[in-house]
Amino acid sequence: MNEMDRKPMVQADGGTVTPGYMPGFGNDFETEALPGALPQGMNSPQKCNYGLYGEQLSGTAFTAPSHQNERTWCYRIRPSVKHSSRYTKIDVPYWKSAPNVIEDVQSLGQYRWDPVEHTDQPLNWITGMRTMTTAGDVNTQVGMASHIYLVTESMTDDYFFSADSELLIVPQEGRLRFATELGIIDLEPKEIAIIPRGLLYRVEVLEGPARGFVCENYGQKFELPGRGPIGANCMANRRDFKSPVAAFEDREAASTVTVKWCGQFHRCEIGHSPLDVVAWHGNYAPVKYDLRTYCPVGSILFDHPDPSIFTVLTAPSGVPGTANIDFVLFRERWMVMEDTFRPPWYHKNIMSELMGNIYGQYDAKPQGFIPGGMSLHNMMIPHGPDKNAFEGASNADLKPEKLDNTMSFMFETRFPQHLTEFAGKEAPLQDDYIDCWSDIDKKFDGTPGKK
């Protein structure tokens, strides 16, 4: 899809690979970086070709139902036990996990933040993660955290994996490369990626500084929402998701592996790159998706559906229809509804809504919610259009109108979201956000027919 997908990449050992992607979501992929590296017709031959080690990475319980069961077979230079040694606990002070309820930070309310700006401090994928909210409990694998990342430095001989979560990454500026065990994903604004739980990777800055949003999913994996009567097409289509082809490094160098495990960070030292998977097959893999391929569906006569109509991905919670997390996209679209208040209506919601602006202007808040900024409307806290948006939309001449230059998203969870100390005290919180509703008038005076 992108030009850069085809460009050869020079790896740290001087070799080159051509990054590429395979289309599909949750497909049973197979890929090999060297011919004949992938066993055919079986998973675990007595001896693997090239002297590789066979190893299974299980993303779901062995006994998960077939349609949800995910695992990948890796054929690698060394087994993963060689990419692990004695761990030492380390401090990553800005990356928080639920439960993280701070006594003197209030989470009840409507909140909005300006973009968190970069500083002179060099930051990588781990040190540059700034947790904004947490929900649920990482130890029981329910809930999520939302983060902003500020990345200026590449990881070189440093690698990371999260045993706690899969990460949904939403870039807002800059370009990043995720060099993973299963291949390479290059990522830029208007795209998203999912890095599965347990997958080792390194993040490089292709174009910096890089800033974006992350949804850390402690629970069941993201999947595509059922379309119901919409049918077999539209919204996010499976073919527009891309998983990387196999790419490996055979590099001896003093390296570190950092692991996020039960909300804590640990580090160990190894003597080589752990990105040594020469071939793999399976359905547990990182994936990227171009948000510009999302085909929005909406009302074509009057009213509009609930915002769930714009769900890109959903992570189930175990309660049918009640997501641990929904990832919802508000992008360019036509508004054609007759005699209708077209922006999102005023509402209170049992779900907790964290939004971020990727670019452009959001229709319910023409000012103040700017690219790189975030907002939070927590469980059962009322919100909706500001006065200008209400008056504008109530008095507009309702011709077909294109909402252009707009891309915002929502991480919506069934669990209340708690602000971190960073979100409440350090990040650029807009103290006057709540005032955007203060001058909404009372129009009612008992006169029938008054509008």
d(C-alpha 131, C-alpha 382), whole Å:
24
83 is in an annotated binding site: no
d(C-alpha 195, C-alpha 174), whole Å:
18
- Asked whether position 353 contacts Fe ion by CB under 5 A, the answer is yes
Measured in whole angstroms, how far is the alpha carbon of residue 61 from the centre of its chain? 23
Q: Is 66 exposed, middle or buried (0-12, 13-18, 19+ CB in 10 A)?
A: exposed
d(C-alpha 213, C-alpha 186), whole Å:
16
353 is in an annotated binding site: yes
Q: How many residues appear in the chain?
A: 451
Name the region of 307 (left: φ>0; alpha: ψ -120 to 50; beta: rest): alpha
266 belongs to the catalytic site: no
Pick the catalytic residue from 266, 304, 377, 418: 304
Question: Which CB atom, from 164 or from 326, has the smaller least distance to Fe ion?
Answer: 326
How many residues of this chain interact with Fe ion, rule: CB under 5 A?
1
Q: Which stretch binds Fe ion (CB under 5 A): 17-25, 199-207, 217-225, 345-353?
A: 345-353
Q: Residue 23 CB, nearest distance to Fe ion (Å)?
A: 33
Shortest-Cβ-distance residue relative to Fe ion? 353
CA dihedral 407, 136, 107, 370 (to 10 degrees): -10
d(C-alpha 402, C-alpha 334), whole Å:
4
281 is in an annotated binding site: no
Q: Residue 353 CB, nearest distance to Fe ion (Å)?
A: 5
Q: Which stretch binds Fe ion (CB under 5 A): 10-18, 328-336, 347-355, 432-440?
A: 347-355
| Site map 294..333 versus Fe ion, x via CB under 5 A | ----------------------------------------
d(C-alpha 411, C-alpha 169), whole Å:
11
Question: Which CB atom, from 196 or from 343, has the smaller least distance to Fe ion?
Answer: 343
Question: Which CB atom, from 64 or from 440, has the smaller least distance to Fe ion?
Answer: 440
Q: Which stretch binds Fe ion (CB under 5 A): 26-34, 86-94, 214-222, 346-354?
A: 346-354
Q: Residue 356 CB, nearest distance to Fe ion (Å)?
A: 14
DSSP labels for 224-289?
PPP-GGG-SSSBS-GGGEEEEPP-----EEEEEEEEEETTEEEEEEEEE-S--EEEEEES---EEE
d(C-alpha 252, C-alpha 149), whole Å:
30
Question: Which CB atom, from 276 or from 353, has the smaller least distance to Fe ion?
Answer: 353
Question: Which CB atom, from 87 or from 346, has the smaller least distance to Fe ion?
Answer: 346
d(C-alpha 315, C-alpha 144), whole Å:
10
Question: Which CB atom, from 198 or from 307, has the smaller least distance to Fe ion?
Answer: 307
Question: Which CB atom, from 25 or from 362, has the smaller least distance to Fe ion?
Answer: 362
In the DSSP assignment, the letter for residue 422 is I
Task: Name the one residue in this structure whose structure tokens are 């992570």.
Answer: 315
Task: Name the one residue in this structure whose structure tokens are 């990371």.
Answer: 160
d(C-alpha 356, C-alpha 367), whole Å:
14
CB 145, CB 129: distance < 8 Å: no
In the DSSP assignment, the letter for residue 18 is -
Q: Residue 348 CB, nearest distance to Fe ion (Å)?
A: 9
Question: Which CB atom, from 193 or from 355, has the smaller least distance to Fe ion?
Answer: 355
383 is in an annotated binding site: yes
Cβ neighbours of residue 61 under 8 Å, at least 6 residues apart?
none
Q: Residue 16 CB, nearest distance to Fe ion (Å)?
A: 48
Q: Residue 247 CB, nearest distance to Fe ion (Å)?
A: 41
| Site map 119..158 versus Fe ion, x via CB under 5 A | ----------------------------------------
**Token pair listed for 213:** 């949003």
C-alpha distance from residue 221 to each of 23, 109, 141, 310 (Å): 19, 29, 11, 19
Q: Residue 235 CB, nearest distance to Fe ion (Å)?
A: 19
Q: Residue 420 CB, nearest distance to Fe ion (Å)?
A: 21
How many CA atoms lie less than 13 Å away from 377 in the CB half-sphere? 19
Contact set with Fe ion (CB under 5 A): 353
Which residues form the catalytic set?
A: 304
Binding site members: 347, 353, 362, 383
Binding site members for Fe cation: 347, 353, 383
Binding site members for homogentisate: 362, 383
